[in-house]
Amino acid sequence: MGAYNVRTLTYKNQTQVRFFKKPIEYDKKKVRANERKKKTEEERTQFDIDLSIRQSMHRTKDKIWNICLANDWEYFVTFTFNPKIVNSKDYDDCVTKFHGWLDNAKKICCPDLKYVIVPEFHADKEKFHFHALMSNLGLLQLIDSGRRKDKGTKIIYNIGNYRLGFSTAIPVSQNSDSQGKIVGYMLKYITKDLATLTQGKKRYWYSRNTCEKPVIDSYLIENDKLHDFIEALENDKSYRKTVDMPFSDNELKIYNFDTN
């Protein structure tokens, strides 16, 4: 297919339909990307830099959203770093030490661990910590912290096996609305500051062998039929929003439909 103006993404408990005001043409996207790659650092304008950061943020958020909603999750987990063990101001050191712990945990405690992990650049503009959605924790030690959430209905656990700093693990409600809100909360961590500091580096991780991905289909629908198609969906939607795409002079309408 050379172009599309409608894309459907089928997740675990919902389907998302995306409508583009102007068709997305694959060939033009490749040409624009190749033109940007040819520019040297001296030739790049501030517009080019801002565009690159915005597009990179969008791709990162979109991929996180897709993976998170295509899977069921049991815990929302936060990992911080003890400055005596990890340089929490050094992104590379945080990533290296954390992945060393994660690899050992999978080998020893939870070979079927399912996860999506994103970093957060702390409000102090200095330190990093990580957040994750996780399932299949296996023999990871969940220790009752004595604290509660949601009016006492959820236990806040600590992970006893995690010794790089402090951790919390909060059970996730098994419904699409609750999980969608948590995913939206995680996406707020992907900020311009984080994107700038981590250019050329990974901004999220997921367990490729245990995570499912959404089924994505693309279509090119004639404009005179597109309006009727959108109108027919209005009564069944669970969520809708419109997103301006100023850099590509386009507009995106997003519709979500619960399927559980």
Given this model, what pLDDT does residue 29 score? Answer: 55
On whether the CB atoms of residues 3 and 24 are closer than 8 A, the answer is yes
Non-local CB neighbours of 115 within 8 Å, separated by 6+ positions:
102, 132, 133, 134, 135, 205, 206, 207, 211
65 and 94, same domain (yes or no): no
14 and 45, same domain (yes or no): yes
14 and 57, same domain (yes or no): yes
169 and 48, same domain (yes or no): no
On whether the CB atoms of residues 248 and 259 are closer than 8 A, the answer is no
- What amino acid is encoded at 239 in this protein? Y
130 and 44, same domain (yes or no): no
64 and 30, same domain (yes or no): yes
64 and 80, same domain (yes or no): no
96 and 54, same domain (yes or no): no
**DSSP letters spanning 3-30:** EEEEEEEE-SSEEEEEEEEEEEEHHHHH
How do residues 125-168 score in pLDDT, each as one tens digit?
A: 889 999 999 999 999 999 999 999 888 889 999 999 999 999 99
How do residues 92-135 score in pLDDT, each as one tens digit?
A: 999 999 999 999 999 999 999 999 999 999 888 889 999 999 99
Tokens at residue 30, please? 């490749």
Element holding 222 (H helix, E strand)? none
How do residues 197-240 score in pLDDT, each as one tens digit?
A: 888 888 999 999 999 999 999 999 988 888 888 888 887 887 78
84 and 195, same domain (yes or no): yes
175 and 98, same domain (yes or no): yes
How do residues 14-45 score in pLDDT, each as one tens digit?
A: 899 999 989 988 765 554 555 555 566 666 67
Instruction: Look at the chain and report how many structural domains it folds into.
Output: 2
- The pair phi, psi for residue 27, each rounded to 5°, is -65, -40
Q: Of 97, 61, 101, 104, which Cα lies nearest the Cα of 195? A: 61
86 and 190, same domain (yes or no): yes
Non-local CB neighbours of 213 within 8 Å, separated by 6+ positions:
66, 67, 70
127 and 168, same domain (yes or no): yes
CA atoms of 130 and 122, how far apart (whole Å): 10
Q: Which of 164, 187, 206 is the last residue of a domain?
A: 206
Residue 48, domain extent: 3-70+215-258
DSSP state of 198: T
